[in-house]
Structure 1
């Protein structure tokens, strides 16, 4: 039994492992989370995990769960890596190891990946401002969230947009209006909290009124 799930699980559950499909043959997916210091439980329940939380519904005082038909567990085995040290389930047995930094955390994560993983894909990575921000507009267009004219308004340069280009500024405002209530980590899922401006968290174009 799993708290919040009505009845026996239709999947195999063993001490923190949830087995789906053919785990021996499926590819391995390693999921990292930002922050730094954010728990991967967020990804497990709100992004790619096997369960979805039913908002406002409780079973025995616990938020109800349901299987997610779009879970990445249908594609492969997932390792949710918590980091840096002492983030959620990440722990250490020495005081010295409790210290962390961006450089050390990146080095430890790379060491973890290199030990057992030969190839890997990057999902929602933080690379550079121009690439990340510009790609979001292209993605919004490809997913039919904005029109082609809106996408082309800034000549594909949104991160360092020319503030004197009124057509471009209007296009950026149009994009923000269309996606402000969409969960950008999973656009087919509803935004859990409509009061949270998700775009400000991921798009430097909308980081405060003084941006322009």
Structure 2
């Protein structure tokens, strides 16, 4: 759930400059106690009152609060006063927090049933991470989900601005929710969020050190299937070879002709380009998010499709470029989600500002993103020195961000091993493998998991999270 492409080149901002500028700006912002949320007791598509506390609202961030960041907050179903508080970002950049809520770690999911023109139905998810923690799902960066900009000047996305806005969001949100000030705080996310989250944690830590208020009881962070160095694609070919997707001969030729570098290959390197074409042909037809899952077309034109079905005008539907995925395709639920989120009654129930956005997209890739954090590796180094806990996990069938890539940068931190490579188990079965380092970082694979792991293996990922968040060994 991420894209590397950008219409902007890398910035030459120094690490110190990126860190200190937002802190100077943040220190000038008067935090006023103003209500920013509304309790939602009923949701269209869900039968009866919600059996958990859901709050939705906006927090203004940026200069003049011109970015109105939308959030879903769900209290822990266990002990909200004492359970940890986690802020969760979905990847992209530009994928809505609702995607994380209903497809990955939240307490709701869409019922898989054929769409008939009525509102899709919601059901409870048994392995929600809200069983053990309070979670704030945030729609950031700008133009993600229901988050909108009030002026054109703040419409540009960048990695560093996302980090600054999330930092500001959390401090403001805590001012409005003082009963959670003492709770242990964590920042979590997956996929592309592996780039901004370490920077967010670093910025919050520095803000605490500088005396910014309110103080945040920051304890650590967690990342799933994370982009980190932006060189993850170099590990796709070794992964594909290990999984039996390409031949020994092609792998050896790729190594020889490309030298292990498969990104931005020199066009003059004819032999490498030839081998890469052979590799692309070999994996064509596979779902890179999960190499065992069905590859189903998904086009973000759900509303047009819906109107065609409601009108029962099948000829019009069939003459378009849309393709309806089979009910057993994972992308079918993405269609259902878009219908649901674009329904007027749903928006009213969620207290969406009327007229603030047009069509809701699960992932909005149409806004350029300036890449000014080329790698988050150095942030991990600094956070390790500060002693923050971290959990890094990967689905072991993910070709998009292969676990080999994540394992490589974790290993290159060069910390000693305190709990060596071993199985972690669930229901007397192997759930994956794990290793823990002296910098309080735990790395884990999820057997059978894809990109991202909780979407494919919810019970296994809940087990990992619930053990880790409780300071237990996996």
Q: TM-score range by the shorter chain?
A: 0.5 to 0.7
Q: Distance in 2 between matches of 1:87 and 1:3?
A: 22
Equivalent of 1:13 in 47, 53, 57: 53
- Counterparts of residues 6-155 of structure 1 (less than 5 Å): 6-9=47-50, 11-16=51-56, 17-18=73-74, 19-56=76-113, 61-74=118-131, 76-85=133-142, 87-90=144-147, 95=151, 98-102=154-158, 103-111=160-168, 112=170, 113=200, 114=204, 116=216, 117-130=218-231, 132-135=232-235, 146-147=243-244, 153=251, 154-155=254-255
TM-score, length basis structure 1: 0.59
- The alignment partner of 1:121 has SS state of strand
The alpha-carbon distance between structure 1 residues 52 and 119, as it changes in their structure 2 partners (threshold 3 A), is: same
Deviation at 1:64? 0.6
TM-score, length basis structure 2: 0.31
- Give the number of the structure whose residues are more often strand, by fraction: 2
Flag the structure with larger Rg.
Answer: 2
Equivalent of 1:191 in 330, 335, 342: 330
**More RCO (CA 8 Å, sep 6+):** 2
- In the comparison of the two structures, how many residue pairs are matched? 190
Does the 8 A contact of 1:39 with 1:87 survive in 2? yes
2:285 match = 177
Deviation at 1:63? 0.7
1:209 match = none
The alpha-carbon distance between structure 1 residues 177 and 51, as it changes in their structure 2 partners (threshold 3 A), is: same
The alpha-carbon distance between structure 1 residues 106 and 54, as it changes in their structure 2 partners (threshold 3 A), is: same
Deviations 1:45-77 (A, max 9, x none): 223322211244579932111222343334533
Structure 2 segments unaligned to the other structure (5+ residues): 1-41, 57-72, 171-199, 208-215, 295-327, 334-364, 366-398, 402-474
Deviation at 1:40? 1.6
Equivalent of 2:271 in 164, 189, 205: 164
Q: Distance in 2 between matches of 1:163 and 1:23?
A: 59
Q: Distance in 2 between matches of 1:138 and 1:23?
A: 44
2:354 match = none
The alpha-carbon distance between structure 1 residues 71 and 100, as it changes in their structure 2 partners (threshold 3 A), is: same
Q: Distance in 2 between matches of 1:32 and 1:25?
A: 22
Q: Distance in 2 between matches of 1:138 and 1:50?
A: 36
Q: Distance in 2 between matches of 1:193 and 1:57?
A: 9
Does the 8 A contact of 1:48 with 1:70 survive in 2? yes
Q: Distance in 1 between matches of 2:287 and 2:108?
A: 25
Structure 1 segments unaligned to the other structure (5+ residues): 195-200, 205-212
Q: CA RMSD in A?
A: 4.6
The alpha-carbon distance between structure 1 residues 79 and 170, as it changes in their structure 2 partners (threshold 3 A), is: same
The alpha-carbon distance between structure 1 residues 27 and 38, as it changes in their structure 2 partners (threshold 3 A), is: same
Deviations 1:114-151 (A, max 9, x none): 16334112334433331x22455677789xxx338669
Which of 147-156 and 83-92 deviates more? 147-156
Q: Distance in 1 between matches of 2:78 and 2:283?
A: 39
Deviation at 1:159? 4.0
Does the 8 A contact of 1:58 with 1:64 survive in 2? no
- The alignment partner of 1:177 has SS state of coil
Does the 8 A contact of 1:82 with 1:89 survive in 2? yes
